[in-house]
Structure 1
């Protein structure tokens, strides 16, 4: 190793050297390899794995910018039959998820996830009284409320209007999913000059995101985006849903737990940051100054990279391909490709779903928060599926043990700074 902490040119790093550069244990280096974040190689006659110094240094830089420490090999494992992510592809119940999303509507994909049965032309509808209760509650929120605020309040209101919400039988939970999702959409305030409360869910949602009249191509793209985002294994919000379901919270409460986590800037809200970045690129005419500003501020360029894929996010690939057929998306699509090409000069990070989703929202007259709304509505179907799975497991099993690192007892009682209790 050189004084700067890098290997001489042409020499690969040992596991120990890679671990020192990353500031982790050697076993964590192998965890990075298993998750596709590092590649390893065994040389002729070598006793252990070796690593590309540039790749290790790039990962070290990303970790330094990330507010969360990398996970070690000791991770909670949850058995699931819903989604498999393998070799840069993902599957719903064993079926290629991208092809399923391209060929079937969001509602049909949701049914497949819940029941394992495809029901052609199914439409999710909600009882009028449930929608009315949700709309009244959402309308009472302050004007500056965000989309996830509105969706959480709508979910709580829908729960209060459902006296059977504590029925956790599979058919009852599926029924909740079929009515809750359209309730969430209907509770969002429609954009002036655009109002649709009938037809496919994608049409109803479009009317709450933009006043631009959609054509069939645009609606198909939005519908496919919803289907692509239905589930993605144990994302942070999905884990929160399963924790709630493990405690036997009803499905409305489980979805509310997921919405709370989704609002974080590292999860559902990420597409909003990408949306604003694309508008900045379009305004400046080039991605170079925008990417430079992000890196100078010590931030990762949003919309790039995914810990579960070594190549491009397959969801982004599918959505980009559809957006190529929409002339209105051409400028935002070019800006997205410019961001990827500019960043590729320094790191091998590929486009993720947030970048593709931002192209859709930025080219459709939607606000920056629209991607978060699309993400939340879409993922509700996956959350319902995971809640159902968890209801069949042992209650309260999602209870890890804390590792206490505070002062060891016995400690002296703290000094009182007020009146003594008598």
Structure 2
């Protein structure tokens, strides 16, 4: 590979500049790319490669972590060092693990989200889902809960705090009671997200029946997707929920915090961008060329790559396997395959779970918003697990800030 010093896009830098920022040799830079720690793309000529400035700077920051307590603490809050201990989930290259059990293996074995919730909540012999289905919506929220003109996340965020008002056991510290409250919340959240009344059906069926009633194969794809998305260590929404839980707030409040964090375009919005990529590639009439040109311009490819999985997101790989089994001959699935192949050829990137949730909606001709609904339905199980674990510890999460503003007593 050669270097090209004058790439026109300021967000893309040549190898020499990347090496200078990282303090490494060219050989080490190429090793970082091969391990998935950095991505590269074609430069102005066929022999050169350029690198995303933001990725290089982020890696440079991570290399500095640990050189001082304050710097290490700051880096911990930016995809860096661990900030607290948990027994809930572990991220490994082959799968996320829920209390030592592979999420991919669980999805393949036919586990439901309720099964995973019981595992994450350490229910053991207790089955909090064995209780009767939650009652119909209270009159004061029924209009909101069933208003399909409202976006799913906003509808849910409006109703969850109101449901807390009728939950007499919301602050009960007994573990069995808290798990029953959590189980009710899981069902209510799913029903709110699809705008229906809660019931005792497994939540994957509640979602699937709301979108494609009677399609057993689709229902199984949704089941697997929910299991794979149930938790992912200390992601943004889980951390938000856990901080709120550390104050002693009721579980409804922790769920509200998780939903609020998920509403941000840099978290839950990833599925919508991935779905838009599939639609834009289709509209171009030449999807492979569209992906090639997009990559050469330096544009991102949403739905691909994951910083925690250098060899590809195993959750996305499992959903892709299911879609190939059930929809491999469909025209829409062939389009997804074209986009995946073109992305791999140009960037070496693999699809992540956001991209495959979007692909489910694309292949089954469903609205993009349903991808976020699946994610929010599943991730509630993890948020509640983190809330239960944090409140059992009985400690407040209160990090300190490193002040960088005007020093008192000195003129600005």
Report the TM-score, using the length of structure 2 for normalisation.
0.79
Sort the Cα spacing of 1:64 and 1:19 in 2 relative to 1 into closer, same or farther, 3 A: closer
**Partner Cα distance (1:125, 1:224) in 2:** 25
Deviation at 1:17, TM superposition (A): 7.8
**Partner Cα distance (1:218, 1:203) in 2:** 9
Sort the Cα spacing of 1:293 and 1:3 in 2 relative to 1 into closer, same or farther, 3 A: closer
Q: Which residue of 2 aligns with 1:155?
A: 160
- Is 1:91 the counterpart of 2:97? The answer is yes
Task: Note if contact 1:159-1:252 (Cα within 8 Å) is conserved in structure 2.
Answer: yes
- Is 1:108 the counterpart of 2:115? The answer is yes
Q: Secondary structure at the match of 1:84?
A: strand
Deviation at 1:5, TM superposition (A): 9.1
**Partner Cα distance (2:353, 2:164) in 1:** 31
Moved more, 224-233 or 101-110: 101-110
**Partner Cα distance (1:174, 1:139) in 2:** 26
Sort the Cα spacing of 1:378 and 1:133 in 2 relative to 1 into closer, same or farther, 3 A: farther
> Pick from 77, 88, 94: which aligns with 1:82?
88
Q: Which residue of 2 aligns with 1:261?
A: 261
> Pick from 161, 166, 169: which aligns with 2:174?
169
Correspondence list, 1:68-79, <5 A: 73=65, 74=72, 75=76, 76-79=82-85
Deviations 1:315-352 (A, max 9, x none): 11111111122238833332222222222333221110
Deviation at 1:373, TM superposition (A): 0.8
- Is 1:228 the counterpart of 2:235? The answer is no
- Is 1:406 the counterpart of 2:405? The answer is yes
Q: Secondary structure at the match of 2:336?
A: helix
Q: Which residue of 2 aligns with 1:368?
A: 368
Moved more, 291-300 or 175-184: 291-300
Sort the Cα spacing of 1:290 and 1:62 in 2 relative to 1 into closer, same or farther, 3 A: farther
Task: Note if contact 1:126-1:183 (Cα within 8 Å) is conserved in structure 2.
Answer: no
Sort the Cα spacing of 1:127 and 1:213 in 2 relative to 1 into closer, same or farther, 3 A: closer
Deviation at 1:234, TM superposition (A): 0.8
CA RMSD between the two structures: 3.9
Task: Note if contact 1:246-1:394 (Cα within 8 Å) is conserved in structure 2.
Answer: yes
Task: Note if contact 2:275-2:368 (Cα within 8 Å) is conserved in structure 1.
Answer: yes
- Is 1:201 the counterpart of 2:203? The answer is yes
Sort the Cα spacing of 1:409 and 1:61 in 2 relative to 1 into closer, same or farther, 3 A: closer
Deviation at 1:280, TM superposition (A): 2.8
Deviation at 1:307, TM superposition (A): 0.7
Higher relative helix content? 2
**Equivalenced residues, count:** 378
Q: Which residue of 2 aligns with 1:127?
A: 134
Q: Secondary structure at the match of 1:128?
A: coil
**Partner Cα distance (2:3, 2:292) in 1:** 28
Correspondence list, 1:352-363, <5 A: 352-363=352-363
**Partner Cα distance (1:180, 1:169) in 2:** 17
**Partner Cα distance (1:156, 1:196) in 2:** 16
Q: Secondary structure at the match of 1:343?
A: helix
Q: Which runs of 5+ in 2 are unaligned?
A: 8-13, 44-48, 66-71, 77-81
Sort the Cα spacing of 1:407 and 1:185 in 2 relative to 1 into closer, same or farther, 3 A: same
Sort the Cα spacing of 1:207 and 1:101 in 2 relative to 1 into closer, same or farther, 3 A: same
Task: Note if contact 2:205-2:219 (Cα within 8 Å) is conserved in structure 1.
Answer: yes
Q: Which runs of 5+ in 1 are unaligned?
A: 7-12, 40-53, 414-422
**Partner Cα distance (2:185, 2:135) in 1:** 12
